[in-house]
Structure 1
C-alpha cells in the first residue's frame, strides 16, 4: 500500500468541473480545517471570554478534519462511536446542519468581542450554503475524487498505514 493508493491528485480537476455543491463544500471544509485551527490559536491571546471561542475553534478544526478527510480515521485510532458519528454525516442535509451549528457557535463569539472569529463564522456559513444548495438541487452527496477513495469501515492493520506513509 502506497500513499498514492489513498490520494489521487488527478481527481482535483474532476472535482472542480463536477458542478456538485457537496464537493465544493468538502473542499471549503478542508480549507476550513486549517483556518479554524489558525484563527483559534490567534484568539487565545485575548484577555476575555473570547479565549473559550478560540479553543472551540481549534476543537472544531480538528473534528472537521476527521469529517472531511476520512483518510485520517485510518491513520489515527478513534473510537467506533466517533466513526459512526462521522458516517451519519454522509448526506448533504446533515452536513448543512453540522456547519450551521459550527457557524452559530462562532457567531456567538460576537457577544464577547468582535474578533477574527467572525471570518470563521462566515466561512462556516458559506460551507453550510454549499451543502444546503446541494440538498435543494437534489444533488447526490459526493465526496472528493481526491480524498474519498478510502472506506473507513475497511480499516487496514496499523502497520500497513504506517508503511504507506
Structure 2
C-alpha cells in the first residue's frame, strides 16, 4: 500500500501516525529554535525536545531494533500500542505545550496543536474500533509485528 492508498484507506490511525511524524519534525525544530530564549521558555523547549525523541521511537518502531536503548525504555514504549494509549500520550504532550502560553506566546503552541490533532485522530480510530495500522513507509506491518 503506497502513500496515496494509505490516505484513501480512511483509517485514522494511519492519519495519526503521519501527524505524529509531523509532530516529531515540529518538536525538534521548534524545540531547538525556542531553546535560545533565555527565560522560562527553555523549560518547555527542553521538554518538547525530549517528547519529540520519545515520539520517534513510538511512531517508527524499526528504531527500537536499531538504536541501543535500555530495557526499561523499550518496555515503556511497547506499552504504548493501542490507539487510546497513543491518544492519551499525545493529548498530555499537546496540552503541556499549549500551557507554554501561560508564560509567553511562542511557536511552541504550533507543536501543541499538531499533537492535539494527532491525539484526536488516534481517539477517532479508537472510537471506530480501527486497529492500529503502521504505515509501510515508516516500518510497515511486518516490522511492527516483529517488535511487539
Per the normalisation by structure 1, the TM-score is: 0.82
**In the alignment, what sits opposite 1:81?**
72
- Aligned residue among 74, 83, 96 for 1:92: 83
Structure 1 residue ranges, 4+ long, deviating more than 3 angstroms after superposition:
none
Q: Deviations over 1:113-134 (max 9, x none)?
A: 1100011111011000000111
**In the alignment, what sits opposite 1:133?**
124
1:1-165 map, 5 Å: 11-146=2-137, 147-148=139-140, 149-150=142-143, 151-152=146-147
Structure 2 Cα separation of the partners of residues 13 and 20 of structure 1: 12
SS in 2 for 1:45: coil
SS in 2 for 1:48: coil
**In the alignment, what sits opposite 1:5?**
none
Name structure 2 gaps, 5 residues minimum.
Answer: none
Structure ranking higher in helix proportion = 2
**In the alignment, what sits opposite 1:159?**
none
| 1:112, distance to aligned residue in structure 2 (A) | 1.1
Structure 1 Cα separation of the partners of residues 106 and 96 of structure 2: 14
Structure 1 Cα separation of the partners of residues 12 and 74 of structure 2: 24
Q: Deviations over 1:13-68 (max 9, x none)?
A: 33212110011101111121111000001101112100110111111111100000
Q: Deviations over 1:131-160 (max 9, x none)?
A: 01111111112111222331226xxxxxxx
How many residue pairs match? The answer is 144
Q: Bigger radius of gyration, 1 or 2? A: 1
Structure 1 Cα separation of the partners of residues 128 and 46 of structure 2: 35
RMSD of the TM alignment (CA)?
1.3
Per the normalisation by structure 2, the TM-score is: 0.91
Name structure 1 gaps, 5 residues minimum.
Answer: 1-9, 154-165
Structure 2 Cα separation of the partners of residues 77 and 47 of structure 1: 33
